[in-house]
Amino acid sequence: MADSYELTYAGFVLTGGNSSRMGRDKAALPFGEGTLLEHVVAAVRNAGQAVPMDVTLIGATARYGDLGVPAVEDHYQGCGPLGGVCTALEITAADLNLIVACDMPGVTAEFCASLLAAAELAEADCVVPETNDGLHPLCAVYHRRVLPMAQERISRGAFKMQEFVGSLRAVKFPVAARFVENVNTPQEWDRRTGNLE
């Protein structure tokens, strides 16, 4: 375990995407006492446990500027989620970076904290949740040292997140699917919000 210095942490929520299959902005869907985006931001912020963790939104700054959360435009428009991950790693000053997509209603602060704890112990490039459906790289912890790998993949048009994670020293983190399932259609939204515990 790395004990010669204190690891630092930061949180990022990816707000990009056109929500074309949902037919409306997924981040703005009503959830709990606010919106789905606000739910995910709170889960990431409170993953710091002892002190709230800094959270930055990546993408669509004009849409979500009124949330009071710092927001940065995606530096790599048209490159999919990898562009958002790369942007987060370019602006972070932290060692371990919790990066979560805004469309995961099942994500919780406790779950995010467990990911960070695993990342601190692993000394891996990333810690990525794994369910029976495979890996979920859009709710994962990335060490900032993987930035050059992300930039290199973008430079050659290799945008697939699964392949990016496969190129890293990744630790798989087995979880129940409900924590990391995202919602893309109205049917998925109805199912997920009806079945959340």
How confident is the prediction along the chain (197 residues), in pLDDT tens digits per residue?
Answer: 444 457 899 999 999 766 556 756 787 788 888 899 999 999 999 997 667 899 999 987 778 777 889 999 999 989 999 999 999 999 999 999 999 999 999 999 999 999 999 999 998 999 999 999 999 999 999 999 999 999 999 999 999 999 999 999 999 999 998 899 887 677 776 776 654 33
Provide the Cα torsion 47, 121, 88, 128; round to 10°.
-90
> How far is CA 71 from each of CA 57, 180, 197, rounded to the nearest angstrom?
4, 23, 30
Class level of CATH domain 9-195: alpha beta
The full set of domain ranges for the chain reads 9-195
**Calpha distance 45→113 (Å, rounded):** 10
Alpha helices in 108-170, H assignment, sequence order? 109-122, 147-155, 161-166
List the structure tokens of 137.
């790289």
pLDDT attached to residue 23: 57
HEC assignment per residue over 17-30? CCCCCCCCCHHHCE
Residue found by looking up tokens 């993408």 in the block: 59
pLDDT attached to residue 10: 96
pLDDT attached to residue 59: 85
Residues 6+ apart with CB under 8 A from 120: 1, 2, 7, 96
